Structure 1
Amino acid sequence: MKICFYIHSLTGGGAERVTSTLARHLADQGHEVGVITMTSEERDFYPLDPRVRRVTLDLAGVNRGLGKLTANYRRWRALRRALKAEQPDVVVAMMNTSIVLAILAAIGLPVRVYGSERNYPGRKATGRPWALLRRFVYRFAAGHVAQTREAAAWLERHTGARNVHVIPNPVVWPIPSFPPEVTPESVVSPERKVILAVGSKPEQKGFDLLVRAFAGLAVDWPEWDLVIVGVDPTSEAVCGGGASVQRLAEAVGVAQRLYLPGRVGNVADWYQRADIFVLSSRYEGFPNVLLEAMASGCPCIAFDCDTGPRDVIEHGRNGVLVPAESVDALQNAMVRLMADEGLRQGLGEHAVAVRQQFAEPKVMALWLEVF
């Protein structure tokens, strides 16, 4: 079977990582696999298996108003040309706008389009035109993949999507490493205790909530630091409240205890360095970083947000769930784990079971059933 993935870019993020993993696994199974992106290869963060054909349309510019409409027409036309040239049997479109474009681009072509939502669609912001298109066109896909039952139910209820499969993200173990590598000891002193978070989208990942929770306990716990991997320290990308992570840390007085090493390819080393891992997201799909942290034996705290954490964490056994977006509850949970090394050890020992529960071969077999 010839299978093409369509995703806006491979510049970083959970959807991009899963695309790379899926493409490799399907190539292992003997399928002819390609990945189509709007961005050029020079912007890639996640590497593709050399057996995977890469098609770049190089139409990723940001536009507004009428220019945005024109740009999306050009993307639709370029994608349709690419599908005609590649002649895949199946297209898997990753994330909502890409799903809409792929369904429209495949009209009249002998190709089955499957949409793969990578966040909880009830929370993932889309502009009104895209939301209307989603409600109209999703039903014309051959099927959809959601990561949780809640997400699947939302798609069926709000878009008329049919043939919706529920497939979680896999745990790829051992966690692969690739450039750039930033060693933990080059950033934070070995004798310091580390609270770790990982992500590149400060608003969605709730890093403002995490920084505020850390600020509330920092004075009483002077031996602990906060490390957020994935956020460029020079970035002005805002988190909640309109400030960047760095500026918020300065405002609440913890800038000297916050480390932002940026994007790293050796994230496994950072999980090993962490004493506590925190997922402070406002919403998720099925969080890769939480799976990886648990697989690495980290004691984990997560907001019970929509969706994913409650599907992975059994509260009090292999991790800790706290009410979504509650800074006080997050702070209290952090203090509880910081104060109890035995509790941290016990949670971490139980957490590693996700390696088997969400093992790559088991999850990938579910994908093969979709097609």
Structure 2
Amino acid sequence: MDALLEWNISADESPGDWEVLARACLRQGDAETAALACTILMKAEHLHGDLAITHANRLVKQGMAGAAIRLLTAQFGDRPTNNAAKQALVRAWIEENPRVALDLFDAADDEPDLALLRVDTLRALDRLDEASSLIERLANRFPEDLRVLTRQARIEERTRNWAKAIGHWTRIMQDHPGQSTLARMKVMQLQARFELFEDAASSAAGLMWPKTADESVDLLTRIEVLQTALQSRAVRDLIIAAAAPAERGRHTPETWAQIMTMLLDSGHIGLAAWLTTQGLVFNAAAIELMQQARPLLGLSDLDLRNPAKAARITSPHVLLPALSDMARTQDNKAAADGKILLVNATLAAGGAERQFVLLVKSLLGAGLDPDRLIVALFSSADELGHGHFRVALEDLGVTIVNLQSQNASAPDLPPDYRRLLALMPRRLRADLLPLLGLCLKERPSVIHGWQDRSSIAAGLAGIMAGTPRIILTARNMQPNRRLLADGESYRGIYRMLCKAASVQMAANSEAGVRDYQAWLDLPEGTLSVLHNAIDTKAFPLLRTEPAGRGERPVRIVGVFRLAANKRPELWMRTVARLRARGRIKVQPKIVGSGPFLSEIEALKGELGLHDLVVAGNLSSAGAIYGDADILLLMSRVEGTPNVVIEAQCCGLAVAACDVGGVKEALMPGNLILPVDADPETAATLIEDWISGLDWSQQEANVLAVRNKYDVTKLADETLKLYRIDHAQVLV
């Protein structure tokens, strides 16, 4: 290449020489020089045939799918007949717009490579039932194909069948030694999701310090392990050490390009900017982004000489001053009687999602026209379990927008806005872009985020779009109590948003208000309380006679997700100890689903709870509470648990651990358990409580809980937050 450049032989005048160079470099394994030669040929519009396809695939890997699409369509058209070109174009469109990718397939595309790409396209569109069906057919044809096995595992992950996913990755680890590091990484990540932290730590140790010399661990794997373990400082130190002049040559340009992408995706933009000063080769898009970022972020050459100092510059924190300026200067561009945009992540089978639907119902009941309400969801895919309450919401007649189906571009944005968005962490950017586009299109007078993820995106979109009123409602305790990886990022954004005059933040309990105010270091009274509500028609009085009368046992139900935070093992061991004490006959039942189902089924035998029914997700009050006397809840963290309100509304007595807003939600005569109670202590307390329980109190409790959590109160409190009075409701 040096000779071609020195002799001033251009690709315009002599493309053949550059093509020979590119092919020779590919044969010799010099992918870096081959890519540079292909880039020169592409700019000269002389990159053709298999070289164009090879380069397009490389562009996709480097995050430049748009450039790959332009190259391929220029050479092969919108629907290539060349099989390799078609595959490359599908890969590019999966990244850019998977709906276009799906349109490229023909009914006859049954060749394995194209079939696997169809699976990938369906996965990108969240059409996971179709993807699963297709991959099962491929597994029958190619049972040992690693590509099929990995896709099976990834689909199980997406559908939250984490135990099955671990099984698939374990098989890959055993049967395909060359992929053991990837498989072990996936197992570790799934164990962390399960909150099986000891197992995850053991897997992490195996990855970081392999037992044999044959199990070498590359730099990318080490970084991913540390990121999973939330060890951001260790990630920083590892990358800085690897970029040292004596070490950097040990890693390929592709590795450094992937590291750059990982840093930008995770918000480590200062460290990414420092790497661009170290003579390492990255794709043009990353370098251009970092060059644009320097004036926006106030990065100086002095900052970038010190990698430790540069590493402290992270997104979105460093962007907050610019966003704060937007909050002060943005014009309000909506009418006071405009639309109300309600934002939630999903409509999964959860208490917060049930309350979200009830919020919409209460606003309509207060007189709001359905045409004024827009509900935006990050996902409502049934295959992911995200559509549980969709029919109930559709029946209310409001507009529902699936943000995943929206164009991810935000029109009419000034350049500074676009640069800000490009510098945000990938997950936040993916949420914000379509929501911001919707805000700019609809110009609502109110945007209301429900739960942390939705509130963060709604708050930022509202600030950038100039929405007059922005409501952020927390439905639990603050994120760090729930071990959320994004907790610290959320903290900075929340603090910035709460300074804006257009923003009001709320939580669903006094305990939640205090918790968030302390976490955010905000003055008392900054947050409001927006209580939960109960649909009394959906949860009527079901239990009217004392429990345990005659020979009938006391029927104890647990209603919770089968996950670590809900502590299902503690629940089961407590019930087993209560039964073993012998004073009270017990009939147990669990309503719920989740990743711990197989562990619960195994524990039933160990504890002798052979009659324990695990009923899965149930919807109606009768199915959940109709054959129960007592609700037992032993969660580690809660906000205001809907099940506590619902059970009391149906006439059940409740025993629950003293977390979050539980104490506020319990009426007199119910039992508060210590959060750190062991099974024996909890069983003793429950036994004494049941023995002395005044069942006549439950009728008064039903009336009290219905009054406190009345739906009309939810509507009134919400309209006050919106600054809409009842005269405006009917506009």
Which TM-score band applies after superposition, normalised by the shorter structure?
0.7 to 0.9
One of 217, 232, 237 as aligned partner of 2:596: 237
Structure 1 residues 253 and 86, CA gap change in structure 2 (3 angstroms): farther
- Where do residues 335-354 of structure 1 align in structure 2 (5 Å cutoff)? 335-339=687-691, 343=693, 345-352=695-702, 353-354=704-705
In 2, distance between residues paired with 1:205 and 1:339? 26
In 2, distance between residues paired with 1:229 and 1:27? 30
In 1, distance between residues paired with 2:535 and 2:496? 32
In 1, distance between residues paired with 2:591 and 2:712? 28
Q: CA deviation at 1:176?
A: 5.9
Instruction: Say yes or no: does 1:310 pair with 2:663.
Output: yes
In 2, distance between residues paired with 1:53 and 1:161? 35
In 1, distance between residues paired with 2:433 and 2:345? 15
- Structure 2 equivalent of residue 285 of structure 1: 639
Length, aligned pairs only: 337
- Give the counterpart letter for 2:720 in structure 1: E
Q: Is the 8 A contact 1:89 1:110 kept in 2?
A: no
Cα deviations across residues 208-250 of structure 1 (Å, max 9, x unaligned)?
Answer: 211110111223368422111122xxx5337xxxx83323333
- Where do residues 77-88 of structure 1 align in structure 2 (5 Å cutoff)? 77-88=433-444
In 1, distance between residues paired with 2:497 and 2:362? 27
In 2, distance between residues paired with 1:265 and 1:116? 25
Q: CA deviation at 1:44?
A: 1.3
- Structure 2 equivalent of residue 320 of structure 1: 671
- Where do residues 1-371 of structure 1 align in structure 2 (5 Å cutoff)? 1=337, 2-28=339-365, 29-31=367-369, 32-40=372-380, 42=382, 43-46=386-389, 47-48=392-393, 49-58=395-404, 69-111=425-467, 112-121=469-478, 123-127=481-485, 129-141=486-498, 142-159=503-520, 163-175=526-538, 193-219=554-580, 220=582, 223-231=585-593, 235-237=594-596, 244-254=599-609, 256-305=610-659, 307-314=660-667, 317-326=668-677, 327-339=679-691, 343=693, 345-352=695-702, 353-371=704-722
Structure 2 residue ranges without an equivalent (≥5): 1-336, 406-423, 541-550, 723-731
- Give the counterpart letter for 2:595 in structure 1: E
Structure 1 residues 211 and 265, CA gap change in structure 2 (3 angstroms): same
Q: Is the 8 A contact 1:119 1:284 kept in 2?
A: yes
- Give the counterpart letter for 1:215 in structure 2: A
Alpha-carbon RMSD: 2.7
The structure having more radius of gyration, on CA atoms, is 2
Q: Is the 8 A contact 1:299 1:344 kept in 2?
A: no
Q: CA deviation at 1:336?
A: 2.8
Q: Is the 8 A contact 2:508 2:530 kept in 1?
A: yes
In 2, distance between residues paired with 1:176 and 1:295? 6
Q: Is the 8 A contact 2:653 2:670 kept in 1?
A: yes
Whose RCO is larger (CA < 8 A, sep 6+)?
1
- Give the counterpart letter for 1:308 in structure 2: G
In 2, distance between residues paired with 1:114 and 1:222? 48
Q: Is the 8 A contact 2:563 2:595 kept in 1?
A: no
TM-score (norm 2): 0.43
Structure 1 residues 318 and 86, CA gap change in structure 2 (3 angstroms): farther
In 1, distance between residues paired with 2:688 and 2:519? 40
Greater fraction of residues in helix: 2
Q: CA deviation at 1:144?
A: 0.8
Structure 1 residue ranges without an equivalent (≥5): 60-67, 178-189
State the percentage of identical aligned residues: 22
Q: CA deviation at 1:37?
A: 0.9
Q: CA deviation at 1:26?
A: 1.4
Greater fraction of residues in strand: 1
Q: CA deviation at 1:369?
A: 0.9
- Structure 1 equivalent of residue 167 of structure 2: none
In 2, distance between residues paired with 1:94 and 1:39? 14
In 2, distance between residues paired with 1:236 and 1:102? 30
Structure 1 residues 201 and 109, CA gap change in structure 2 (3 angstroms): farther
In 2, distance between residues paired with 1:237 and 1:355? 33
- Give the counterpart letter for 1:196 in structure 2: V
In 2, distance between residues paired with 1:130 and 1:303? 24
Q: Is the 8 A contact 1:100 1:138 kept in 2?
A: no
